[in-house]
Amino acid sequence: MDVMTVTLNPSLDREIIVENFKCGKMFRISNPSNAVMEPGGKGINVSKMLSKLGIENMALGFLGGFIGKVFLEKLLEDRNITSNFIFVEEETRENIAILDLVNHSITQINSSGPKITEVDIEHLIQRYENSLSLVEHVLISGSVPPNAPKDIYATLFSLAKKNGITTYMEANGEHFNEAIEKSCPMVVRVDLRKEKKYYDRELKEMDDYIYAAEDIIKHGAKLAVLSYHVEGDIIATNDGVWLFAVNEKVDRSHLFGVGDSFMTGIIYYILKNGYNYLEAAKFGMATAIAKIHHIEKYIESKDEINKYLDYFETKKVK
Ligand SMILES: O=P(O)(O)OC[C@@]1(O)O[C@H](CO)[C@@H](O)[C@@H]1O
């Protein structure tokens, strides 16, 4: 097993397809396949997709209560994923995503997740440290439970780095900032779904995105990725900054899990081909584009990704 994903705040995702969704109205779902319930959280999604690409991996994190049990039962169906969860007192959260294919929109309601105790954190760190000797790549992604220490990502990344492990993160907020400053991972994707911000800086013009990407590289990352106005991404390595621009209009209702697809593609590329970060980002981009060609959360196969390897232009912007 080469990869461990860490999701400190997993969720049971409820993805509901509603045509012409409007606030304050009542809707009924007549087609059962339009209301899906599946394990989620950023690291979990990466685990699921790596598994679909034939990569065995371990998923670590907190689960709790009845929802935690349902979640685990579903996840255990996947033979390529070794589950490694700490059970906590409070319920695992449920997140809702309403996907509207008519208005091409996505509405997400994410809960904050269960409170965890200091002892839970100690258990998790212990379990994590014991697992590090089994893997060479660690991805830590998503939000953290409400009372988790804000340096938790920094702590976990620093332990991984001491073990010579390649590290990946997609997140935003205080725990993200602390990780960038204290123990910057090798690959960083900024989660810009809720607000277009890097630390306190609003991201508006391309220069703002370039600033953020370069700043992440200055902190020690080898690859930084920021989604730029949906139809493009800003990519930075030690050799410069690029705009990857998609050749077609993206259906916003298909965006659920797109960042996780990007990260999956990067990890997959590095596992198979080694450390060419720009090429890894291109493969990540193709994986993300494969994902936005359908509404389901996961990409299913390498063939699906291969179709989109030249669906975007790359332009050096710095
Ligand atoms: O609340 P977070 O942890 O930031 O994001 C969690 C989440 O919205 O991200 C995934 C999609 O990327 C979903 O599976 C999950 O519900």
- Structure tokens given for 227: 């989604």
Which is the closest atom of ligand 1 to the Cα of 110?
1
How many Cβ atoms sit within 10 Å of the Cβ of residue 252?
Answer: 15
Residue-range domain boundaries for the chain? 3-7+43-92+114-316
**236-295 pLDDT, tens per residue?**
999 999 999 998 899 999 999 999 999 999 999 999 999 999 999 999 999 999 999 999
pLDDT at 59 over 90: yes
In which residue are the tokens 């899990």 written?
Answer: 257
Using CA atoms, how far apart are residues 120 and 210, in angstroms rounded to an integer? 38
**187-241 pLDDT, tens per residue?**
999 999 999 999 999 999 999 999 999 999 999 999 999 999 888 999 999 999 9
Contact 38 CB / ligand 1 (< 6 Å)? no
Helix (H, G, I), strand (E, B) or coil at 130: helix
Contact 208 CB / ligand 1 (< 6 Å)? no
Q: 37, 95, 256, 299: which to mutate for ligand 1, most atoms within 8 A of CB? A: 95
pLDDT, position 230? 85
- The interface pTM score, or ipTM, of the predicted complex is 0.99
The percentage of the chain sitting over the pLDDT mark of 70, rounded to a whole number, equals 100
Looking at the DSSP bridge assignments, the partners of residue 5 are 59, 139
pLDDT at 145 over 90: yes
**173-196 pLDDT, tens per residue?**
999 999 999 999 999 999 999 999
Which is the closest atom of ligand 1 to the Cα of 256?
11
pLDDT, position 1? 82
For residue 88, report the phi and psi dihedrals to the nearest 5 degrees.
Answer: -115, 170
Over residues 146-164, mean pLDDT: 97
pLDDT, position 247? 86
Q: Which CATH superfamily is domain 3-7+43-92+114-316 in?
A: Ribokinase (3.40.1190.20)
Quote the pTM value.
Answer: 0.98
For residue 311, report the phi and psi dihedrals to the nearest 5 degrees.
Answer: -90, 10
Over residues 71-79, mean pLDDT: 96
Over residues 85-95, mean pLDDT: 98
Using CA atoms, how far apart are residues 224 and 9, in angstroms rounded to an integer? 23
**DSSP calls for 244-286:** EEESS---GGG-TTHHHHHHHHHHHHHHHH-S-HHHHHHHHHH
